[in-house]
Amino acid sequence: VERGRVMVTRARDGSPSEGEGRKRRRSEAQEAKVPSTRKASAAARGGVYIPPFKLAQMMKEVGPDKQSESYQRLAWDALRKSINGLVNKVSASDPVTSLPSKTLRRLTLLLFLLFSSLLFSTRLDSWSLVFSQVNKGNLKEILPEIFGENLVRGKGLFVRSLMKSQMASPAFTNVYASLVAVINTKFPEIGELLVTRVVLQFRRAYKRNDKPICTAACKFIAHLVNQQVEHELLALEILALLLENPSNDSVELAVTFVKEVGAMLLEVSPKGLHSVFERFRGILHEGEIHKRVQFIIEGLFTVRKTSFEDFPAVLQELDLVEIDDQITHELSLEDKLDAQSGLDVFKLDPNFEESEREYGKMKKEILGESSSEEEDSDGEGSEEEDSEEERDEGPPPTAAPVVTDAGGAGITDMTETDLVNLRRSIYLTIMSALDFEEAGHKLMKIKIPEGKEDELSSMIIECCSQERTYVKYYGLLAHRFCQVRRVYQDCFAEAFHKQYKTIHRLETNKLRNVAKLFAHLLETDGLPWSVLTAIKITEDDTTSSSRIFIKILFQELAASLGLKTLNERLQERSAVSSGWYDGVFPKNLPKDTRFSINFFTSIGLGGLTDDMRAHLKNLPKTIMQNKQPNPVPSSRPQKNKGGRSDSCSYSGSYSYSGSSYSYSYSYSGSYSYSDTADSGEGRKKGKK
């Protein structure tokens, strides 16, 4: 009894018991006997947890020798923990205090639904929908931290951690796929390794009939296809495998897979998606599967009617990679794939320091960072080298110093940093706006220096040319700026001349977008029609690219204004007298006129050439009148009656066959003059 009282008293006071004290002293003695290197190796294997401060102390005890196995093992363990923590951050929600109001409203709704489920036992179908929106805001902040780790050394660790996190949280699969898409642009081998391991995981799960793992792997592959990390052919192969011998589970998995990847397949492979739905229709007609699965297939057909509107391929906030930067891997289910499991295990690197330096350079290129330590260490040497070069070569001819008010020489920035920053600001504003009104409002707030307004017009044209198809957003935005200030209208007019002169440098798709942009500006009177003076439709002055540009330009004008209205605009007296369209409808040489007529006829706009056809038809008469000779006067006065006769003839032929026009003519003439003196002789006889 007395011993029990003592134990109760010690427990209340917080003092350890005798047994615990003995155990603690024994463990301390054992720890004292174990060297720090063995602790480090055990920690690296994940067997012992060591606090961070103690781990740093152990690394100091190991010494600065980075080539030693103990140091590299500790660095490997630190890399593994850091990668796991960053990947877990991606899937973890931010603190509630830092969440946006929309997310807070979702969480409030979730708590209300949870409370309702406890009271009324209702199903929480919106659970994954709410939590899938919580973590999308921190992806852009975590990406620089991930690139800060050595992904070349730890690519196996990164892929393994990513697959484990995706398996534990399938609701965040689209976020993980977006993360992989960004990393794949810089390290394609990591994207290929991930796709390889996910495909192997799907194979093993399919053979073992492991539905949860198979579902998670299919979902991951679907979002990798949506992000264009993997080719869409792999998705079609998986669907063909699942529907080859249909069962309840395989058909249900195929329906889930189509919902995830259907929007992308509808865009890039509509025929393949159509064949998949034909197979679904055949399974329904066979009627060998469960009723519940049949209802699921019917629901999929309903989703298809809406063009997968509720299942977008990539959400707007997760679309982080430009089309030109995407790298797509082409793997097949039947390929011999290697998981490269050795990348997950620590290996001694004899060139550890050199590898770290190389990745440090790569990290600076990716993140755009500069190491202050290296700048400080190399500062003196670089200054001496610069001074020696200046002594030898002298000052550069274009970099004259700028004298400040105080009398000292300033520094002239020859790198055009301000211009690059201005272009970046304009580009980001254009691409991030929801509509042209918002973009125009934000661009007006940017303080564009005087004389740099042409950067805005060139950036709008460049962004428009980069699109797959013409987007009217850019035409509306350009028209808005042409209306706001005259200087922007002049910039776009000058850009029209520059683009037409260098149109041969553009690809066909870019050329088409630029032509449609300028057609929109002309039809809305954003640009004056005097810009058409840059166009000369002759055989010598046009190329294949310029003819395509003119064709698309006038076809768009005819489609929007109508052929009659367009012809009236081109026949305005003020414009014709000013010579705006002399190059478009040349009348100086018959061959140029015929070439212009044939060109417009071939593109379906022959109605614009009626005036030129009339001019070409009347051309022989004009030439005849210009070539008609004048009579030669006589050397003596004409007192007597005389006779004069002249004759001329011309013939012409006119032919027109839908796509070609030709005209030919011939001219011939004669002239004679006679004089008689009968009247003079009669007068003489009368006098006599």
Per-residue pLDDT band at 189 (split at 50, 70, 90): very high
Per-residue pLDDT band at 25 (split at 50, 70, 90): low
Q: Are residues 577 and 662 in the same domain?
A: no
Q: How confident is the model at residue 278, as a pLDDT?
A: 93
CB under 8 Å to 598, separation ≥6 — which residues?
659, 660, 661
Mean pLDDT over residues 494-514, rounded?
Answer: 92
Is 352 within the bounds of a domain?
A: no
Contact (CB, 8 A) for 74 and 37: no
Q: What percent of the chain has pLDDT over 70?
A: 67
Strand partners, 661: 656
Contact (CB, 8 A) for 532 and 569: no
Q: How confident is the model at residue 65, as a pLDDT?
A: 64
Q: Are residues 666 and 564 in the same domain?
A: no
Per-residue pLDDT band at 413 (split at 50, 70, 90): low
Domain coverage including residue 654: 644-687
Is 331 within the bounds of a domain?
A: no
Average pLDDT across the chain, whole number:
75
Q: Residue 569: count other Cβ atoms within 10 Å of its Cβ.
A: 15
Is 338 within the bounds of a domain?
A: no
Q: Are residues 452 and 562 in the same domain?
A: yes
Q: Are residues 463 and 573 in the same domain?
A: yes
Is 501 within the bounds of a domain?
A: yes
Nearest-angstrom CA–CA distance, 177 and 174: 5
In the numeric block, which tokens belong to residue 4?
Answer: 């029990």
pLDDT, tens only, 111-170: 555 554 444 433 333 333 333 433 555 777 888 888 888 888 888 889 999 999 999 889
Contact (CB, 8 A) for 185 and 323: no
pLDDT, tens only, 236-294: 999 999 999 999 999 999 999 999 999 999 999 999 999 999 999 999 898 889 999 99
Per-residue pLDDT band at 343 (split at 50, 70, 90): confident
Buried b (16+ CB within 10 A) or exposed e, 305-337: eeebeeeebbeeebebbeeeeeebbebeeeeeb
Give the DSSP letter string of 439-485. HHHHHHHS-PPTT-HHHHHHHHHHHHHTSSS--HHHHHHHHHHHHH-
pLDDT, tens only, 667-676: 444 444 444 3
Mean pLDDT over residues 314-343, rounded?
Answer: 87
Nearest-angstrom CA–CA distance, 472 and 474: 5
Q: How confident is the model at residue 125, as a pLDDT?
A: 39
Length of the chain as a residue count: 688
Is 480 within the bounds of a domain?
A: yes
Per-residue pLDDT band at 415 (split at 50, 70, 90): low
**Cα dihedral sign for 282, 285, 290, 295?**
positive
Q: Are residues 540 and 654 in the same domain?
A: no
Mean pLDDT over residues 218-238, rounded?
Answer: 93
Q: Are residues 529 and 656 in the same domain?
A: no
Which of 163, 272, 159 is CA-nearest to residue 220? 163
Contact (CB, 8 A) for 220 and 166: yes
What is the number of structural domains in the chain?
2
Q: Are residues 542 and 657 in the same domain?
A: no
In the numeric block, which tokens belong to residue 452?
Answer: 């740099």
Compare 687 and 412 and report the one with higher pLDDT.
Answer: 412
Q: Are residues 462 and 576 in the same domain?
A: yes
Q: Are residues 533 and 656 in the same domain?
A: no
Cβ-defined contacts of 31-40 (< 8 Å, 24+):
36/61, 36/62, 37/62, 37/70, 40/70, 40/73, 40/74, 40/77
Which of 553, 584, 615 marks a domain boundary?
A: 584
Mean pLDDT over residues 519-538, rounded?
Answer: 91
Per-residue pLDDT band at 574 (split at 50, 70, 90): confident
Per-residue pLDDT band at 200 (split at 50, 70, 90): very high
Nearest-angstrom CA–CA distance, 267 and 312: 11
CB under 8 Å to 287, separation ≥6 — which residues?
294
Which of 584, 614, 635 marks a domain boundary?
A: 584
Q: Are residues 551 and 658 in the same domain?
A: no
Q: Are residues 677 and 571 in the same domain?
A: no
pLDDT, tens only, 292-322: 999 999 999 999 999 899 899 998 888 888 8
Strand partners, 665: 652
Which of 584, 603, 630 marks a domain boundary?
A: 584
Radius of gyration for the chain, computed over Cα atoms and rounded to the nearest angstrom: 41
In the numeric block, which tokens belong to residue 486?
Answer: 């005259």
Is 44 within the bounds of a domain?
A: no
Is 517 within the bounds of a domain?
A: yes
Q: Residue 212: count other Cβ atoms within 10 Å of its Cβ.
A: 10
Q: How confident is the model at residue 645, as a pLDDT?
A: 45
Per-residue pLDDT band at 556 (split at 50, 70, 90): very high
Which of 176, 177, 171, 174 is CA-nearest to residue 126? 171
Question: How far is C-alpha 668 from the geometric centre of its chain's CA atoms?
Answer: 67
Is residue 9's pLDDT more than 80? no
Q: Residue 670: count other Cβ atoms within 10 Å of its Cβ.
A: 9
Mean pLDDT over residues 669-685, rounded?
Answer: 41
Residue showing tokens 């053979």: 207
Q: Are residues 573 and 660 in the same domain?
A: no
Contact (CB, 8 A) for 426 and 467: no
Compare 225 and 414 and report the one with higher pLDDT.
Answer: 225
Q: How confident is the model at residue 640, as a pLDDT?
A: 43
Which of 101, 151, 600 is CA-nearest to residue 343? 151
Is 366 within the bounds of a domain?
A: no
- Please report, to the nearest 10 degrees, the dihedral formed by the alpha carbons of residues 87, 90, 93, 94 taken in order: 100
